[in-house]
Structure 1
Amino acid sequence: MAAVRDRLHVLVVGAGVGGLAAARGLAARGHRVTVLERAPALTRVGGHLGVQSNAVLALRALGASAAVEEGGVPVERFEIASWRGRRLAWWSPGALGREMSAPNVTVPRHLLLTALRDAALTHRDATELVFGAEVREIATVDDGTGVTVRTADGRSFTGDLVVGADGVRSAVRRLAGLPGTPRTAGYLTWRGVAAARPPATGPHTARHYLGRGRTFGHWPLPDGRTYWVATRLRPEPALGAAPAGPPDPADLPPRVRDLVAATPADDLLHTAVDTVEGCDTWHTGRVVLLGDAAHAMEPVTGQGGAQALLDALALATALAGVGAADGPARLGAALADYAATRRGPARKVAEEARGLGGLHHLDNPVAVRVRDTVLRCTPHSVWQRRAALRLDERELLAAAAPAGRGTAPEAARR
């Protein structure tokens, strides 16, 4: 670890899952971190998240898992069903969680962000959160020894490295001249929280209905509530455009229409689904990307947050021995190691998500029947294997877990 007097000063742009995780990981390894967030505060907006076992292990390695594990509802069983409710496939996240000694839970997004923020601020002498800071310019210091970020309100922040964790429309990616273009996934999404449980569904069961160009998924929450997500193909894709109002009942499976109707308007979000394509280079000079800024993916696998957490761990691990006095060559080599570790695995997850997004939103009735038949005929053991952690994630989690915390390494050796 770099000595305190020689630590890096890292400017993290974005206080989402990836940015706060990076702040915690870097501060825990001796670096100084300033997080720049354009929003005025860490708000409660953002719905809920499925935190799968690999994400829980990453949170443990960051020392930020306790509130998430305690505040989430475990998902024991995940089912895929036809639009009318016939089961097509299932697997057990609960069994995988027991194998990995880490549960699969559903939590409010703000709970996860608060846990990461609190973990980062345990290093109060090394971590600063600055809100209302919209990044407008990134410039290398004249002698090449640092980098300066300027915000819309005229403030300047100078450090040794800028981390772009600012999402699909990353200002850091654009200002640094790194490749990557936002694109629409071709469908719209609605998210809501209902104070009820779907009919004929256990308290620890999640279910995903597949229709013609439409899907509907629901996950258990505390106190008998339910988190749900509805999607449908958009007739004329337009980047960033969002639907207005609640979903049309005709776009919902018959079994859950009452559930959606019971959702308060204040608990309803509607957004477009956009991803990033062509981001083949993740760093240049003193700038590096992570999370959605590098590989925003369709949400069908529930892995967007987990992959951002793994990015943050890999970056903190790569920079563990780098100091401010080491110069650009040493820093560049560490950033290259980080990118080499994470680019391939994240791309695979993003490609899988894109393929599943297309499969889930098939609109041709013949193709839909074929899809449902293939899903129904696929053995349960195949689905269970697909849900298992990848070896590269286990190795990363084992390497990143802090000394004295055996959970992640022990799970990774299984």
Structure 2
Amino acid sequence: MTALSNRPITVIGAGIGGLTAALALARRGARVVVLERAPALGEVGAGIQLSANAVRVLDALGLGPALERGALRNAAVQLNDARGRRVLRMDLLAHRPDARFLLIHRPRLIALLADAVQAAGVTLRLGVEGSAAEEGLCIAADGLRSAHRAVLNGPQVPFFTGQTAWRAVIPDPGGPAEAQVFMAPGRHLVSYPLPQGLRNIVAVEERAAWHEEGWSHPGDPDRLRAAFADMRGPVLGWLARVRETNLWGLFRHPVAARWHDDRLVLLGDAAHPTLPFLAQGAGMAIEDAWTLAACLDAIPDQGAALARYQALRQPRVTRIVEAANGNARNYHLGGVKRVGAHAVLRVADRLAPSVMPGRFDWLYDFDPVAQRP
């Protein structure tokens, strides 16, 4: 018997974080109900990068074989200038040969998690609006627009970064399994392949116009192509195949100061929304899910368990959010700063190729499964 045996827990939100939390809790004996206000789990068909820190959790939850079948192993991250010339290549396989970095279609990951939670005995209810009045502990995994964050922290106004992003998935059967970044003054584009002959594209442009947060706002493919028309390498060929794109404004939120009360706790974007420039939004939610379940399992007093969860998670996610903010600046450098920064990176790429991957050891080598609650 553990502290979670037969305890009722309600998870609000059937995204990556909510489903991972439900699975981790059910594996430890909790009676879990997941409430999702959408009538179906289908969402915008985007790609996602899962770095080794998050994959360790999914492996521990028994999803390793399914991920092997449904994802590609990411071999590298390469930074290029707008002309398509290599600036820096971070070889993930060489620096961390035993770690797995994966590229997966987000709907595929959601489907894998949904199948796993239901097989574990979790009740999944769609088309239901959840609230903190549900039975037992309530976990708010309801995203960056979480009303439950405001319950704990009061109203907050996010800061518009002046950046707007397009997201698209195109048919593209070729190319190595690696992430490519193309950097230009005031904008950049990230792309990587997905299973089943697809390619994910995220293109970010600085602009003064304000755009609402969220992924589902339709964008104009021709405007996307026009904004990145002077990029070279494979970019123009990729953009020529874009038929549908979604557009959203990028906003900066502070990490929540208060993550819980006696019966409600925040998880993932509800606690710490991040800019998409370190590919850690899903990873942080997956880490949160494991740590929250481990704390509740190890510490019988619920209030003490929730306090321990926040104490373990808040410093790490704050560092990750700040690092993503830094990449937002570095990718868009112009003028003399851009020339100087790219020159330094090219020297490091030639003379010390392990230096830059090593700068992120603190991020990728972290193992949530091994952490003591």
Alignment pair present for 1:287 and 2:264: yes
Alignment pair present for 1:308 and 2:305: no
Gaps of 5+ in 2: none
Alignment pair present for 1:347 and 2:318: yes
Any idea what SS the aligned residue of 2:180 has? strand
Pair 1:399–1:345, CA change in 2 (3 A): closer
Alignment pair present for 1:193 and 2:169: yes
Gaps of 5+ in 1: 139-147, 149-157, 324-329, 401-414
User: Counterparts of 1:311-350 in structure 2 under 5 Å?
Assistant: 311-321=288-298, 330-350=301-321
Q: How far apart are the structure 2 equivalents of 1:391 and 1:74?
A: 15
User: Counterparts of 1:240-279 in structure 2 under 5 Å?
Assistant: 240=213, 244-246=219-221, 247-252=224-229, 253-255=231-233, 256-265=235-244, 268-279=245-256
Structure-1 residue corresponding to 2:336: 366
**Deviation readout 1:204-226 (Å, 9 max, x if unpaired):** 23210110111011112235432
Q: Structure 2: which amino acid aligns with 1:235?
A: A
Structure-2 residue corresponding to 1:403: none
Q: Structure 2: which amino acid aligns with 1:398?
A: A
User: Counterparts of 1:5-404 in structure 2 under 5 Å?
Assistant: 7-100=6-99, 103-124=100-121, 127-135=122-130, 138=132, 148=133, 158-177=134-153, 181-196=157-172, 202-240=175-213, 244-246=219-221, 247-252=224-229, 253-255=231-233, 256-265=235-244, 268-321=245-298, 330-362=301-333, 364-378=334-348, 379-388=352-361, 390=363, 393-394=366-367, 396-399=368-371
Find the structure with the greater CA-based Rg.
1
**Deviation readout 1:309-343 (Å, 9 max, x if unpaired):** 000000000011456xxxxxx21100011111111
Q: Structure 2: which amino acid aligns with 1:313?
A: W
Q: Offset of 1:116 from its aligned partner? A: 1.2
CA RMSD in angstroms, aligned pairs only: 2.4
Q: How far apart are the structure 2 equivalents of 1:105 and 1:69?
A: 9
**Deviation readout 1:269-299 (Å, 9 max, x if unpaired):** 2222234215122112211111111111111
Q: How far apart are the structure 1 equivalents of 2:160 and 2:9?
A: 32
Please say if residues 180 and 279 of structure 1, whose CA atoms lie closer than 8 Å, have aligned partners that are also in contact: no
Pair 1:15–1:181, CA change in 2 (3 A): farther
Q: Structure 2: which amino acid aligns with 1:66?
A: P
Q: Offset of 1:3 from its aligned partner? A: 6.8
Q: Offset of 1:173 from its aligned partner? A: 1.1
Pair 1:184–1:65, CA change in 2 (3 A): farther
Q: Kindly, what percent of the aligned residue pairs are identical?
A: 34
TM-score, normalised to structure 2, is 0.89
Aligned residues: 364
Q: How far apart are the structure 1 equivalents of 2:96 and 2:38?
A: 35
Q: How far apart are the structure 1 equivalents of 2:156 and 2:365?
A: 24
Pair 1:35–1:63, CA change in 2 (3 A): same
Q: Offset of 1:360 from its aligned partner? A: 1.4
Q: How far apart are the structure 2 equivalents of 1:111 and 1:278?
A: 29
Q: Offset of 1:383 from its aligned partner? A: 1.3
TM-score, normalised to structure 1, is 0.81
Q: Structure 2: which amino acid aligns with 1:48?
A: G
Q: How far apart are the structure 1 equivalents of 2:52 and 2:113?
A: 17
Please say if residues 179 and 281 of structure 1, whose CA atoms lie closer than 8 Å, have aligned partners that are also in contact: no
Judge which range, 313-322 or 177-186, deviates more: 177-186
Any idea what SS the aligned residue of 1:98 has? coil
Q: Offset of 1:7 from its aligned partner? A: 3.0
